[in-house]
Structure 1
Amino acid sequence: MRFLLIEDNKGLSQAITERLELDGHIVDGVSDVSSANTMQNLTSYDLILLDLTLPDGDGREVLRHLRNINDLTPIIVITASREISERVKTLDLGADDFLVKPFDFAELEARVRAVLRRKRGDARNQIEIGNVSFDQLDGTLTIDGEPVTLRTQELRLFEALVDAPDRVHSKEHLMDRLFSFGDEGSSNAIEVYIGRLRRKLEHSNLKIETVRGRGYRILCP
């Protein structure tokens, strides 16, 4: 999944990024409101982690703007304020959850999982398709109950395809889901990862179909 982290503390931002990347996520980090607006115009995100105290404004303005334009991207607010009134005000603006600094990274990961589950409207992590079981939050895949190891890019690719079965995904869309800004990514790389993923799914009910001139989709007969 792709996350946007808006946090001006460089040390904390780096620590959060490294922790979430270990879970297989892409994290785009920015430190101010202006950069956050720019990034949101460039791509879409599965989750936003938002600090409230930023150099060029209040993070609540980012939250208020997104909700005013009916952008329902889940947002977890990160702040040093322990005032109950501040939490209530932020949640009323449309935040999905609240983390008070300092926090344990295990709690951050748990809250991320919980918010993403709610986004999917499901209390479970598991997606069951044919003889394939995929835990979207833990990034684990089994075929007929047997675990299948996916490397980071393979995991991101499978996640993008299975998130919308039967829908055709262009190479450009898949590149956006696989690579961070600044990473070396190409349509040839997508073809390589598609080939690897096909081999790992060959004993499953799933098939990755090439739709000539349009992209790829995952099918379950």
Structure 2
Amino acid sequence: MNAGEEVGKGAVVLVVEDEPSIADVLAIALRYHGFEVVWASCLLQARARVAERRFDAVLLDVMLPDGDGRAFGRELRDGHPETAVVFVTARDAPAEIVGALGFGDDYITKPFHIDEVVARITAVLRRTRPADVLPARPPLTYGNLELDETTYTVRRADRPDGPRVEVQLTPTEYALLRFLVRNGGRIVPKEQLLRHVWQYEHQAESTVVETYISYLRRKLAPLGPSLITTRRGVGYGLAAA
């Protein structure tokens, strides 16, 4: 069994795609790698599928006959934060991509290679696999920050003796923060973050790291001083605890 099959085993993916031929190819490839696949051809069907059962990941076309897939992505993030969302889009403008990543975990541009789709879904699930299939782990702490690796929740206090308040993060935001915490006060090069958080190789020009760092800073800002530091031209780390 290969790595993709190990991750895919037991994982359920909702494919939201209005082109039956594309949906068939995606379903065949994902099932070959051990995923259970459910298909929806429009947003109306997708909402019904989500109401019926829980999904580990949603592969979501942005342009659908009954609306913009990004709106459904927002609904998933609000109502099902444990579900990973991977957008499929024919739009490759930076503004479109950054906008989608605000409530998704990854994106794939058309035309795509089917192996890339499987690899992206596999990579996302490696970092977002739900707690019910993972053994309990002790929380990670860094100063007033606490990460619960069993429930994938983050809490931070705004002062040393204050109560910790939960911070709502997407699965990818959580994975990025967790990797920074595990590296303590060390500056982590951008290329290393791309490899370990996104499983990207040789994509040093990608802006995905900067995008997610800005999301984390915005969400952590109300609960204390700036936590994430930047070493320009090198990477990112955490301020002294």
Q: How high is the TM-score relative to the length of structure 2?
A: 0.49
CA distance in 1, matches of 2:36, 2:133: 16
> What is the number of residues matched between the two proteins?
125
Q: Distance between the aligned counterparts of 1:68 and 1:113, measured in 2?
A: 23
Between the aligned residues of both structures, percent identity stands at 34
Q: Quick check: 1:163 aligned with 2:172? A: no
Match for residue 89 of structure 2? 79
* Structure 2 residue aligned with 1:107: 116
Equivalent runs, 1:59-98 vs 2, <5 Å: 59-69=69-79, 71-92=81-102, 94-98=103-107
How far 1:68 sits from its partner (Å)?
2.4
Whole-Å Cα distance in 2 between the matches of residues 113 and 8 of structure 1?
A: 23
Of structures 1 and 2, the one with the larger relative CO (CA 8 A, separation 6+) is 1
Query: Is residue 10 from structure 1 mapped to residue 20 from structure 2 by the alignment?
Result: yes
Structure 2 partner of 1:117: 126
Q: Partners in 2 of 1:90 and 1:165 — Cα distance?
A: 32
Return the match for 1:29 from 32, 35, 39. Answer: 39
For structure 1, which runs of at least 5 residues remain unmatched after alignment? 122-161, 167-221
- Local SS of the residue matching 2:76: helix
Correspondence for 1:50: 60
* 1:24 partner amino acid: G
Q: Could you tell me which amino acid in structure 2 is paired with residue 29 of structure 1?
A: W
**Unpaired segments of 5 or more residues in structure 2?**
1-10, 137-241
Cα shift at 1:58: 0.7
Q: What is the root-mean-square deviation of aligned Cα atoms in Å?
A: 1.9
Structure-1-length-normalised TM-score: 0.53
Q: d(CA) in 1 for partners of 2:135 and 2:94?
A: 42
- Structure 1 pair 25–85 and aligned structure 2 pair: CA distance change class (3 A): same
Q: Is the 8 A contact 2:27 2:37 kept in 1?
A: yes
Is this contact kept in 1: 2:56–2:129, CA < 8 A? no
**What is the SS of the residue equivalent to 1:37?**
helix
Counterparts of 1:120 and 1:19 in 2: how far apart (Å)?
20
